[in-house]
Amino acid sequence: MIKNIKLLNKIAKVGTDKLDRNLFNVGEDVDAPYGIMVRSANMLDMEFNPELRAIARAGAGVNNIPIDRCTEAGIVVFNTPGANANAVKELVICGLMLASRDVVGGIKWAGTLTEDVAKQVEKGKSKFAGVEVRGKTLGVIGLGAIGGMVANTAVHLHMDVIGCDPYLSVEGAWNLNHHINKAAQYDDVYAASDYITLHVPSTPTTKGMINKETIAKMKDGVRILNFSRADLVVAADLKEALESGKVAAYVTDFPTEEVIGVDGVVAIPHLGASTEESEDNCAVMAAMELSDYIANGNIKNSVNFPAISMPRSADCRLCVLHKNVPSMLAKFTALCSEQGINIENMTSKSRGDIAYTLLDVNGKPADASIDALKAIDAVLRVRVI
């Protein structure tokens, strides 16, 4: 049966073309969607139809999607980490230069000149002089997809780079240039760096991490870049540090009322992922994640369910989304045995309080057997493929 995929925003055609039209009906006006593709549309108060099984966010952040409500309903939410990493990395490097030299102020001033322009430029350009990044120390907080790329690029700019990431993956570590110094704690980065760039998500432990106390641990004249989230920085403490000269410049991709117009602040209107290539990459990744889950039950890059993949090995696949509580696998296998269902292959993964189990079985189970599986306590949803 063809499944409806609803587009809540304009999604790059190179992505939606990845959805097989023999399997999917894709559009902005489809009813009762089985899957949704979204960029920035606010879904927090949206009512979900019973058929909805998955949401794919063409981007990394999912603060526009009600994750907890989706989890309880057995709706898998995907994002596209790394798809826009190069776009953001390039803008961060631009921000590094904007923090070093008052290019923005110089451009604004040059735009006011009307007569003897060349003469006025030579006379007034010294007001916008800056420093070079070569030989300076860049501190990178968070060495994931974006932070790691920024750190590697900074090495090639002949900067000394120190990074800290308590959650650095093995794959992420392998991708880092061997010249990057690894710090055990953020305080080491604060103390050593001429520039500090933030690449961590906004969580209860990172909100407000740049504040009066942490700024005091930094070098005088430090330059701070924030291309992650506005609330990582306490605006009042930052403004005080800019006024005193403790912080020489603050470049952010997340303007707020508190920092707009403040001397020393370069506010970019959230352009980090705003490239044609980034939008294409996100759309393709989101479409492939959605397609593989709907067609095969495989999960990659979900923010609320564990990653899991298993080659198809039987006539039918049962996809069981459930809570991570004891004896669930025993209950599944016991029920299959009682119902005469032969399991060819099985895999199960958990993520915190949530788990997901794939069962490849011979023949399609009777509706009564599926209903019995759904009735098991702590089962959120069952799909039959």
Integer Cα distance of 345 and 185 in angstroms:
44
Find the radius of gyration of the CA atoms of the chain: 25
From the candidates 72, 240, 258, 344, give the one annotated as an active-site residue: 258
Q: In the annotation, is 156 catalytic? A: no
From the candidates 39, 57, 223, 229, give the one annotated as an active-site residue: 229
Integer Cα distance of 241 and 244 in angstroms:
5
Q: In the annotation, is 223 catalytic? A: no
From the candidates 132, 158, 270, 338, give the one annotated as an active-site residue: 270
Q: In the annotation, is 199 catalytic? A: no
Q: Which residues are catalytic?
A: 229, 258, 270
